[in-house]
Structure 1
């Protein structure tokens, strides 16, 4: 045992140390606490660094996914716009086709052409179906960019899925366009063919109604003449068909009125005379009127004729004949008088061949033309107007 020392009374001064500085058992826990704190601090730094890396990675990944999504969305919108435009065009074309079919009375058009248009319209409806369905599909949209890295990862995955869906939609839209383009072309071609079938039928229709008034025939010709320039289906296409049909209706109506006026015992002879006159002047549109007295002649065995013609296109004239011409048909004198009147009518094709400034020269020309055609009876104009100059007869040979 060590004795205690009284520092205050010690003769040598100084101080006494305690038996020991610290217990070994007390020092060890303090060193472990510092190591634990250091380790926790280091772990915290590592966690923070890892979170930072995750945040950056997630953010960059989201930006890349968003860029791909935006590109896919833009492509899908462009495809949808193209498909909508093509669908609008097809709808416009089929609407006109429906109007054409509704307006078509069948008076001029060919049934097979109408059937072809109906088939093309049906095909167009089928081609438009997929496009209409695709255009109703809503396009996915992207929300605002999240903040937390786990939200960014989830959003990136969804953007990738949506981008894939948009790519698929764009591909489907692009695939729908060619069918509609082809359908539009098919309907247009069939519609134009229907219209042209009516125009092509116009000449035969005219020939089947020879007694129609000139104005009605000219209206039909004019309407038909505008068709060859038609390349598209629009409102003008329908108007062209309606115009032709209206004109054809007038051709029929005026012919019926003319035949009603010519009805009676002389009708057959009148129609033969009209056909005879037309045969003398091919290419000239002739219209005929009949009366008891014409140009102060027609009674007591006399015959009268009067012709009105127009210099402008088309070549046309109106010949008025007395009933006595039909009563004496087919006598040579009747044929000769008719030839004289046709000589006036055909002058529209040969106006530069004679002097048309006086009535005498006009009548001499018609007489010369009848003579050039071999009609020598004095009813050819010689009896009424005298014999024409040989120069007129020679010129008349060139007017056919």
Structure 2
């Protein structure tokens, strides 16, 4: 049945279409679902991986910062420790340098004084007091001391570096530490040089002192010889010579006061020599020989008593022109074994007569009273004249010129007492 067949086929075809269409829809749906699931790996999934990478990057950055901070802290700590150690070393070196500089200045002051003292001795031209050998030795010692002093002055004038303020950052600390180390080394070297300089100054000073002291003491020991070579010479210069000689001989160290004493002594030596020349010139003339014999005679009677003599035509208005032998003696009141004897020229004219000898012995009795002050009664002129007369008698001079003619005979007790004074 075509009609029926047509009708029957059509639903089948429609059914097939529907089924096909339904199947296609289902297939499409399935295909879409599969496509949806199959695309999952290439879709929104990368977003979680980017978050993990960001966290890791932040973690690494923080760790780096912490590492750098730790490294910086270590560098800062070590820089501080190194700086503090260098600062301590420089401070210690500066203290040592300051101590050595102070010591050097003290030693140099002594050295300079010794050099100046040597200059004083070298300024004395008397070859008896400063021999050629002494002069050469002193010159060498002085030159060495002056050279050492100049070197010391240069060292003490050398500037030194102070530590300064402490920097803050480690790179500054490292730089400053290196400078402090170099400064500490330089200051330590300077301190050592100052120490060696002080030793040289002390040695140079010792050389001057040894030589200078020897010259001073040797010259002082020449006083007795100089005095004996220059008799007669005025008492004043001779007494000063004796005093200065004793000081020089007793000197135990050489310094400027000792050198000044030596120069004063040298001037006094020349004064004694000049006094000797002047005295001889004043006594020149026809009576010079007799005068010198009388003076020597008087000095022989009173050992240890220094005598000056003055000559005149009249003494106490008495002399040869009116027929007298006359004399007078002046002595220090309180202390000192010296005297000045005044004699008329008539004593020399009558020399060596007994009266002249007795009169000179009487005047010598006044002079030696300065040696025996506890025995002598000098309360008045009569007592003093009795003593001088008694002393002349005790010495064996019996001529009336001994004082008996002018003052009368003294008591025997005074004569006996005077014999203990020699």
Aligned pair count reads 391
The change in CA–CA distance for 1:140 and 1:299 in structure 2 (over 3 A counts) is same
Gaps of 5+ in 1: 6-16
- Alignment partner, residue 15 of structure 2: none
Confirm or deny that 1:106 pairs with 2:95.
Answer: no
1:361 alignment partner, one of 383, 394, 404: 383
Larger Rg: 2
Report whether the alignment pairs 1:23 with 2:37: no
Q: Provide the residue aligned with 1:333 in structure 2.
A: 355
Q: 1:354 to 1:70 in 2, by over 3 A?
A: closer
- SS across alignment from 2:90: helix
Residue matched to 1:389: 411
Give 1:192 deviation, angstroms.
Answer: 3.8
Alignment CA distance shift 1:113-1:156 (3 Å): same
Q: What secondary structure is seen at the aligned counterpart in 2 of 1:40? A: helix
Matched position secondary structure for 1:353? coil
Separation in structure 1 between the aligned mates of residue 165 and residue 334 of structure 2, nearest angstrom: 77
Distance in 2 between the 1:322 and 1:227 partners?
40
Q: Which runs of 5+ in 2 are unaligned?
A: 1-26
Question: For residues 145-202 of structure 1, what are the alpha-carbon distances to aligned partners after superposition, in whole Å with 9 as ceiling and x for unaligned?
Answer: 3333233223323322322232222222222222212322332343344333443323
Q: TM-score, normalised by structure 2?
A: 0.81
Query: How far apart are the structure 2 equivalents of 1:399 and 1:361?
Result: 16
Detail structure 1 runs of 4+ shifted over 6 Å in the superposition: none
**What is the alpha-carbon distance in structure 2 between the residues aligned to residue 74 and residue 151 of structure 1?**
25
Separation in structure 1 between the aligned mates of residue 230 and residue 194 of structure 2, nearest angstrom: 54
Match for 1:3 among 7, 25, 29? 29
Contact 2:120 2:260 in 1 (8 A): no
**1:280 CA drift (Å):** 0.3
Instruction: Tell me the alpha carbon deviations over residues 44-97 of structure 1, each in whole angstroms, 9 at most, x when there is no partner.
Output: 222222222222222222222222222222222222222122223312331233
Specify whether residues 168 and 220 from structure 1 end up closer, same or farther in structure 2 by C-alpha distance, changes over 3 A only: same
Contact 1:124 1:183 in 2 (8 A): yes
Aligned to 1:279: 300
Kindly indicate which of the two structures has a greater share of residues assigned to helix.
Answer: 2
Once the two structures are superposed, the pairs formed by residues 1-400 of structure 1 within 5 Å of their partners are 2-3=28-29, 19=37, 23=42, 26-27=46-47, 28-102=49-123, 104-106=124-126, 109-111=129-131, 112-227=133-248, 230-231=251-252, 236-295=257-316, 296-299=318-321, 302-400=324-422
SS class of match (1:320): strand
Give per-residue Cα distances to partners, 1:220-264, cap 9 Å, x unaligned. Answer: 334444445655555533442343334334323333332222111
Seen in structure 2, the aligned counterparts of structure 1 residues 324 and 150 have a Cα distance that, compared at 3 Å, is: same
Q: Are the counterparts in 2 of residues 114 and 194 from structure 1 also a CA contact under 8 Å?
A: no
Q: For the aligned residues, what is the CA RMSD?
A: 3.1
Deviation at 1:369, TM superposition (A): 1.2
CA distance change for structure 1 residues 3 and 166 in 2, over 3 Å: closer, same or farther? same
